[in-house]
Amino acid sequence: MIIPDTPRVTRIVREVWKPLTVLFVWDVLVTVVYFVLPFKAPALPLTIFGSALALFLGFRATSAYQRWWEGRILWGAMINASRSFSRAITAFMDDRRDGVVPLKRTLVQRQIAYVHALRCALRRQQQCPELAQYLDASAMAEVEERTNRPNAVLDGTGRRIAAAQRIGYLDTIQQSRIEAVLIDIANAQGGMERLKNTPLPMQYRFFPALFTRIFCVLLPIGLVETLGMATPVGSTIAGLMFLAILQIGDDLVDPFANDVHDVPMSAMCRTIEIDLLQSIGDAAPAPLGEVKGVLW
Amino acid sequence: MIIPDTPRVTRIVREVWKPLTVLFVWDVLVTVVYFVLPFKAPALPLTIFGSALALFLGFRATSAYQRWWEGRILWGAMINASRSFSRAITAFMDDRRDGVVPLKRTLVQRQIAYVHALRCALRRQQQCPELAQYLDASAMAEVEERTNRPNAVLDGTGRRIAAAQRIGYLDTIQQSRIEAVLIDIANAQGGMERLKNTPLPMQYRFFPALFTRIFCVLLPIGLVETLGMATPVGSTIAGLMFLAILQIGDDLVDPFANDVHDVPMSAMCRTIEIDLLQSIGDAAPAPLGEVKGVLW
Amino acid sequence: MIIPDTPRVTRIVREVWKPLTVLFVWDVLVTVVYFVLPFKAPALPLTIFGSALALFLGFRATSAYQRWWEGRILWGAMINASRSFSRAITAFMDDRRDGVVPLKRTLVQRQIAYVHALRCALRRQQQCPELAQYLDASAMAEVEERTNRPNAVLDGTGRRIAAAQRIGYLDTIQQSRIEAVLIDIANAQGGMERLKNTPLPMQYRFFPALFTRIFCVLLPIGLVETLGMATPVGSTIAGLMFLAILQIGDDLVDPFANDVHDVPMSAMCRTIEIDLLQSIGDAAPAPLGEVKGVLW
Amino acid sequence: MIIPDTPRVTRIVREVWKPLTVLFVWDVLVTVVYFVLPFKAPALPLTIFGSALALFLGFRATSAYQRWWEGRILWGAMINASRSFSRAITAFMDDRRDGVVPLKRTLVQRQIAYVHALRCALRRQQQCPELAQYLDASAMAEVEERTNRPNAVLDGTGRRIAAAQRIGYLDTIQQSRIEAVLIDIANAQGGMERLKNTPLPMQYRFFPALFTRIFCVLLPIGLVETLGMATPVGSTIAGLMFLAILQIGDDLVDPFANDVHDVPMSAMCRTIEIDLLQSIGDAAPAPLGEVKGVLW
Amino acid sequence: MIIPDTPRVTRIVREVWKPLTVLFVWDVLVTVVYFVLPFKAPALPLTIFGSALALFLGFRATSAYQRWWEGRILWGAMINASRSFSRAITAFMDDRRDGVVPLKRTLVQRQIAYVHALRCALRRQQQCPELAQYLDASAMAEVEERTNRPNAVLDGTGRRIAAAQRIGYLDTIQQSRIEAVLIDIANAQGGMERLKNTPLPMQYRFFPALFTRIFCVLLPIGLVETLGMATPVGSTIAGLMFLAILQIGDDLVDPFANDVHDVPMSAMCRTIEIDLLQSIGDAAPAPLGEVKGVLW
């Protein structure tokens, strides 16, 4: 996620110069041709093109933003549920009983391992060093043999809570309440996997890009008759506006795409790590900050 | 669901060549007639037509996408609830008691059978081989005599959990928690049946298609006076844009229609199958991949 | 609900011929007057009229569809809750105890009676034959003296479940779980009554109809100067498009209005009837089919 | 809430005549001046004004309607929760025990008192005669000393249910289920207070009204050059359309504003009163009807 | 939050005079240059610019308002949950038992401390005097060492409720019900932190501001040919409308930004304080009123 309100000039220049140059060169070319070897430019129905294009781009920008924001909401729900999990675990079990304190630490660490495993899975990263940091060897083995590793961590957490109930640390009412939190966690995970595995339908990826480009190509031809020498300016600005809307859609449509426009998953995993470690009295690392204006 | 960002040229050509050809031939015809036996083309109020049409098409494309995405969300909820079901089943019952291990396997297999039964019902497929694979003969008999087969599987699962409670494997608190998961499953099923059985109202299917076609017919007549020789190009591009929006609506409006634009139900059933089988330690099949760019 | 994708020509002709004729006659009249006793038609600001009208009609069509779809969602929720009710009832109580099997039948039949009572109440039908079919005389008497009959059935169901708990067929945990399903049912009923009793605000019913008609009257006057002899065609098509959007709003805005555009309540009540009767092993009637292309 | 589909002519005339007259007089004035002392009317960019204005008015009308409809939904939720409260109260406690029947009556009457107290609070009415009707003197005293009177009633209800649990009329599971209904009630109340206390942001109240008026002033100046003598008609109709959209926003934006466009709170309180009194076998008053086309 | 319907003239002048002056001076300048040293102003495609800009601004204004309203909804949910927390606490525990009355006071005061801590955290205020007012020294120490102070208060509340359960003031069913309220509270907090920590994506902050300014610069150039001397008026009004929409987005997009457009957090914290103190019979401060038309 890009943090500053006004993005760095370098980032903008880097992202924009290529389409801008292509657009401008084409617009100049059309204008030059028009004046050098005069042709009768047709009065293309640009308003009709524009309103059809607006339908595509308006829909696409809105739904891209909704996907991005839903990704953020789901990670927010994961933060909330992780805190509720740790609050229930630490409150429900009585520290004065043997074995409760280490069990609490294990369960809370498993939840930290879980969110890191989920982040790595969403970013399609095979290596996830935090997993080994918070899970012991036998727990790692349990997880490694499953296709969906975060889900394996959650299943194991559920079994350990059931064991605690059988010992008598919890009764089934408290177990049922914690299970309700695990369901919230599973629902958030499922929602993230949905966003990751189901891109915007192909039609909304392909046609807006195609039609925006056709529109930019036709724009100077349709304008040169009335704009004359001002065609490159007018046509480039108009084209740039439509290309910007198209680009925003591309940037936001996949909130877990492992690029600078991502929902800041690493930072949110760190937030969970801090909250949960502090809730059992352990030392916690510092929050993640932005790197070159980007929070990962 | 079509996977690649840029669809295969063959698919596009196959889908688009027919309307494109018809459109282009008509536009050329109008232009030729205009120049050969000159008539005074009326300045049709294309902007007014266009804005009324945009109302129709904008609404239709939005609601078609919402239906498609709701179908995907409901299947995602089914994945989540299936995992929560299996996590609760495996955690709540104590493996050391007689009969618990086979009961867990039965219950988890019933849930796999359930999602396959649901997928077949949504695709209106009478044959559903996975059903017999995961249900034994008596369970199959129970299911076959009911009109709504997935619901029959779920009812049977509820009865088996109640039986487990009477034996003492579960108490009523744990039963009640699992029943809450069954309600989530039933709600997801009901939502899918709603999308399947209730198409977009007839008016939104019929009028947009009618008016888009009328618009495409009138377009070259209204443009030829100002566009002249460029009419076929301008008119075909504009017509194609509106037809594309119309087509997207058709593609997405029925997410369980058994065609390439479907929500990928087979793949999601397989995901559930893998997660659930692995959660009880059984071997699982490989995930489904795309076939010629389509994930079913 | 109208089923076929392409509506019958007879239905369309019946619905459309009157406004179409009025529109066409008016458009021809204006054109004839323009050519016979020439007047200088003013260049009415049709684009400004059109964009204001589009605001009204776009809002109205969207909110009408949302009301219709919410009506359908609420009936879907009723189907889901009815199934969950029957699943919980049949699973929680032990058939081997005296009186349980008839009690299950009574409770499930009460739920069927409930949905029929609700359907009749929404359609403002005083007679509801299915009520007497599924309720015995004393239960009917209980219901008849209440203003809100479906709610009376639900109250009685709640009291019978409480009685079962007092006998010991259920414990309070199971009672509480079933009560949660009754709350879902009550919420769905309340939502339906809200849609029925609260029409779209008067302003959104009156002004769009008024302004669309004014627009259609002014349309040929504003167009005749530029369109000439083509005025009747251009003006009638544009007017028809706006009238169609207006009509869609009228059709869908009241989903329980007892006309062909209704949410298919009878069919959904039958679905519930089949699912619930089969869940207790009783014979069930066949699903309702469409009648002349309409599913009621 | 205004009931008839077509509002009374008197109401419309009363609401519309003032802006209509001002608008028409201004439009005539501009036209007369144009013809009497001819000036060159500038071709104002009315389309650009219009599209900016449409952004404001479209947003405002949509969010006003959403506020109104949310107000209605929240009162619907209050009806549902009140019914569920009374169903749970009457079902869970056993009439055969001493003191249960009067307690049920007290609790149900408290809920009726609650909704009336809430209605009076939302309408900022200090007097609320129904409160004294359904609460005895000591309960009234409890309520009067609190700033938020409905919340005080709810707190007292919660304490009385806890007392019933301590006597043994209910167990804590049943208490917990009823508490969940009280939470639904508290959430509905909080939502209504939110709508009442948080108007639409000032910017959306001020700017649309300002810009619509500026637009109406400029409209005849911009149109007179092309419309000529028809200016008053064309300009008044266009102006009236925009003013109507503005007015709809004003009417609906505050659903508890104590005017004719209110959500019908009195009628819904009466609905709750009838349902709850009948549920404990008491006589109930008749439903409220409309008065001069308005349901309060 | 600004309270009066019509904002003070001073506020408007203060906010608007700068862009208004710049706009007007530029528009006059262009007009003067046009008449003094005549140039052929190009007929810039203002309609195409305008419709692309409308896409940006419409999206931005809508999503800014949604963020602001979501912030308000979340604080409303916090009010509701705080009341439900206090109602459950005061009802569930029996005052006749030793230690219950002081414990109730402690728990209710902790919740008041919690909302103040949350408000200070959202406004990034390090000092939060109300925290020390409602927490004793040891509780303060517990909170100070945690990164997320409000979450620390909530964790401590959860532990104190668990202690009450171990003593026997509550059973685990009542504890579980209160824990469900704590989860609602944690979810509301998480939602607020999401809005605070995740601004609108950079693209939607940067591009609308850029393109609106470019549009205002080009506006008089594109209009002067047709508007002539009226350019400054027409161009300034149109520019002001677009700038106003842009400004509304800026004002509302961050509902916890510590400026006059904030959701009124201080007033809502005071509302919670009053309701909770009165619910345990303590004296409460007066509600916060507006200061110079602003409710903080």
Across residues A184-188, what is the average pLDDT? 96
C215: Cα within 13 Å, side-chain hemisphere = 32
- Do D195 and D71 touch, CB atoms closer than 8 A? yes
**Rg of chain D over CA atoms, in angstroms?**
27
Residue to substitute from B40, B48, B167, B213, interface C, most C β-carbons within 10 A: B48
Q: B229: which DSSP letter? A: G
Across residues D31-36, what is the average pLDDT? 87
Across residues E71-92, what is the average pLDDT? 96
Q: E37: which DSSP letter? A: S
- What is the three-class DSSP state of A190? helix
Taking CA atoms, E30 is separated from A232, D218, E215, in Å, by 21, 22, 14
- C128/chain B closest Cα distance in angstroms: 25
Q: Write the CB contacts of C137 (distance below 8 Å, at least 6 apart in sequence).
A: none
What's the whole-number average pLDDT of chain A? 89
Is 70 exceeded by the pLDDT of residue B245?
Answer: yes
Q: What's at C105, amino acid-wise?
A: R
pLDDT for the residue numbered A191: 96
Name the strand (E) or helix (H) holding E20. Answer: helix E9-36
Taking CA atoms, A292 is separated from A1, A12, A212, A257, A265, in Å, by 11, 13, 31, 19, 17
pLDDT for the residue numbered E7: 61
Q: What's at C138, amino acid-wise?
A: S
Taking only the tens place, the pLDDT of each residue in E76-85 is 999 999 999 9
CA C78 to chain centre: 14
- Give chains near A: 3+ CB pairs under 8 A: B, E
Buried b (16+ CB within 10 A) or exposed e, D68-103: bbbbbbbbbbbbbbbbbbbbbbbbbbeeeeeebeeb
Across residues B234-243, what is the average pLDDT? 87
Q: What is the DSSP string of D175-223?
A: HHHHHHHHHHHHHHHHHHHHHHHSPSPHHHHHHHHHHHHHHHHHHHHHH
- Do E83 and D151 touch, CB atoms closer than 8 A? yes
Q: Which has more pLDDT, B6 or B283?
A: B283
**Nearest CB partner across the interface for D91, out of C147, C162, C207:** C162
pLDDT for the residue numbered C5: 66
pLDDT for the residue numbered C7: 61
E50–D49 CB contact, under 8 Å: no
In angstroms, rounded to a whole number, what is the distance separating the alpha carbons of residues D198 and D251? Answer: 16
pLDDT for the residue numbered D19: 83
Q: Write the CB contacts of D51 (distance below 8 Å, at least 6 apart in sequence).
A: C51, E50, E51, E54
A175 has a chain E CB within 8 A of its CB: no
Is 70 exceeded by the pLDDT of residue A294?
Answer: yes
C190–D5 CB contact, under 8 Å: no
Taking only the tens place, the pLDDT of each residue in D142-157 is 899 899 999 999 999 9
- What is the three-class DSSP state of B167? helix
- What is the three-class DSSP state of E126? coil
pLDDT for the residue numbered A249: 86
Across residues E69-96, what is the average pLDDT? 96
pLDDT for the residue numbered D55: 82
Show the tokens assigned to B192: 């899918």
In angstroms, rounded to a whole number, what is the distance separating the alpha carbons of residues B220 and B236? Answer: 8
In the structure, what pLDDT confidence band is assigned to residue B108 with cuts at 50, 70 and 90? very high
Across residues D262-279, what is the average pLDDT? 94
A226 has a chain B CB within 8 A of its CB: no
Residue to substitute from A183, A189, A204, interface B, most B β-carbons within 10 A: A183
pLDDT for the residue numbered B258: 84
- Nearest CA among E264, E12, E269 for reference residue D198: E264
Buried b (16+ CB within 10 A) or exposed e, B40-50: ebbbbbbbbbb
E158 has a chain A CB within 8 A of its CB: yes
**Nearest CB partner across the interface for C201, out of D68, D234, D245:** D68
In the structure, what pLDDT confidence band is assigned to residue D46 with cuts at 50, 70 and 90? confident
pLDDT for the residue numbered C6: 64
A120: Cα within 13 Å, side-chain hemisphere = 18
- Nearest CA among D188, D198, D182, D161 for reference residue D268: D188
In the structure, what pLDDT confidence band is assigned to residue E6 with cuts at 50, 70 and 90? low
Q: Which has more pLDDT, C1 or E135?
A: E135
- Do C210 and C203 touch, CB atoms closer than 8 A? no
In angstroms, rounded to a whole number, what is the distance separating the alpha carbons of residues C148 and C144? Answer: 9
Total count of residues recorded for chain A? 296
Q: D288: which DSSP letter? A: P
pLDDT for the residue numbered B58: 86
pLDDT for the residue numbered A5: 66
- Nearest CA among D161, D152, D164, D156 for reference residue D179: D161
In angstroms, rounded to a whole number, what is the distance separating the alpha carbons of residues C158 and D90? Answer: 9
In angstroms, rounded to a whole number, what is the distance separating the alpha carbons of residues A34 and A40? Answer: 8
CA C280 to chain centre: 30
**Nearest CB partner across the interface for D186, out of E57, E80, E173:** E80
Lowest mean pLDDT, pick from A95-109, B36-50, B75-89, E220-234: B36-50
Taking only the tens place, the pLDDT of each residue in A30-83 is 888 888 877 777 777 887 888 888 888 888 888 999 999 999 999 999 999 999
Is 70 exceeded by the pLDDT of residue B9?
Answer: no
Inter-chain contacts counted by CB atoms under 8 A, chains A and E: 155
Across residues B258-267, what is the average pLDDT? 90
Taking only the tens place, the pLDDT of each residue in E194-210 is 999 999 988 888 888 88
Taking CA atoms, E252 is separated from B203, C147, E206, E243, in Å, by 38, 47, 16, 14
Q: What's at D188, amino acid-wise?
A: A
pLDDT for the residue numbered A235: 87
In angstroms, rounded to a whole number, what is the distance separating the alpha carbons of residues E235 and E41? Answer: 14
Taking CA atoms, C109 is separated from B174, C102, C177, D88, D119, in Å, by 28, 10, 20, 21, 38
Q: B100: which DSSP letter? A: H
pLDDT for the residue numbered E18: 84
Taking only the tens place, the pLDDT of each residue in E208-254 is 888 899 999 988 888 888 888 888 888 888 888 888 888 888 889 99
Show the tokens assigned to B140: 């199959």
In angstroms, rounded to a whole number, what is the distance separating the alpha carbons of residues C219 and C243? Answer: 13
Buried b (16+ CB within 10 A) or exposed e, C50-84: bbbbbbbbbbbbbbbbebbbbbbbbbbbbbbbbbb
Sort E124 into a burial class: Cβ within 10 Å, 0-12 / 13-18 / 19+: exposed
Those residues of chain C that have pLDDT short of 50 are none
Is 90 exceeded by the pLDDT of residue E260?
Answer: no
In angstroms, rounded to a whole number, what is the distance separating the alpha carbons of residues E236 and E238? Answer: 6
D229 has a chain C CB within 8 A of its CB: yes
- What is the three-class DSSP state of A37? coil
Is 90 exceeded by the pLDDT of residue B45?
Answer: no
Longest dimension (CA), chain A: 93
Across residues D207-224, what is the average pLDDT? 88
Show the tokens assigned to E36: 């003094």
pLDDT for the residue numbered C152: 95
In angstroms, rounded to a whole number, what is the distance separating the alpha carbons of residues E291 and D78? Answer: 34
**Nearest CB partner across the interface for C83, out of B151, B179, B199:** B151
In angstroms, rounded to a whole number, what is the distance separating the alpha carbons of residues E143 and E154? Answer: 10
C244–B207 CB contact, under 8 Å: yes
Taking only the tens place, the pLDDT of each residue in D89-117 is 999 999 999 999 999 999 999 999 999 99
B43–C4 CB contact, under 8 Å: no
Lowest mean pLDDT, pick from A76-80, A251-255, E36-40: E36-40
Residues of B in contact with A189 (CB under 8 A): 80
Which residue of chain A is at minimal alpha-carbon distance from B222?
A45
Is 80 exceeded by the pLDDT of residue D40?
Answer: no
Is 90 exceeded by the pLDDT of residue B156?
Answer: yes
Terminal CA-to-CA distance of chain A, rounded, Å?
Answer: 6
